[in-house]
Amino acid sequence: MKKLSGGKTLAVAAVAGGAVLASVAPVLADVSAQSPSTAAIRVESPAKWKAWGAAIEVQVTYACQPGSSQAYFNLSVTQSVVGGVAVGGAYKDNLNCTGGFETTTVNVTANDRAFRWGTAFAKAELRGYPNSVARDEREIKIVP
């Protein structure tokens, strides 16, 4: 019996592993295509500056299972401004759950300090009954 060197052994193992992965990959792809995602949400950038910073208009893209009742999302935006932090929030309920992506616009009103042009941090959470949750956290731009 001939002994294989280290390099040849690794090559044989790599080819065998690749063959196994190639045979399983189509099955995995088919399962993921059949399994619907429960929920997704994304805060879009840029947001539009409104009323001298008293509010910003933000687009939010979401998806939830068709027939989900009581679907809603919360959105909060925080921004460092001169003298402190501008904070605001928005809530949207009665979402249209089609199973596909939908985009809606909400106005986020500033609480104590006005928003300004520039970078802010947005955090969104989508909830739908029964038991679907999605979250998104990201930097967004605020533009005039």
Q: Read off the pLDDT of residues 7-34 as tens digits, 9 standing for 90 and up.
A: 555 444 445 555 544 544 444 444 334 3
Task: Please state, rounded to an integer, the average pLDDT across all residues of the chain.
Answer: 82
pTM of the model: 0.71
Segment among 25-29, 40-44, 54-58 with least mean pLDDT: 25-29
CA dihedral 24, 26, 27, 29 (to 10 degrees): 120
Closest CA to 108 of 41, 40, 60: 60
Between vectors from CA 39 to CA 93 and to CA 135, what angle results, nearest 5°?
A: 80
pLDDT (0 to 100) of residue 90: 97
- CATH code of the domain made up of 39-143: 2.60.40.10
75 Cβ contact partners less than 8 Å away, ≥ 6 residues apart = 43, 58, 60, 89, 90, 91, 92, 106, 108, 122, 123, 124
Residues 76-111 have pLDDT tens digits of: 999 999 999 999 999 999 998 888 999 999 999 999
Angle CA 132–133–137, to nearest 5? 160
Domain map (residue ranges) of the chain: 1-35, 39-143
At residue 107, the pLDDT reads: 98
What's the pLDDT at 65?
A: 87
Q: Among 52-61, 83-92, 115-124, 127-136, whose mean pLDDT is lowest? A: 127-136
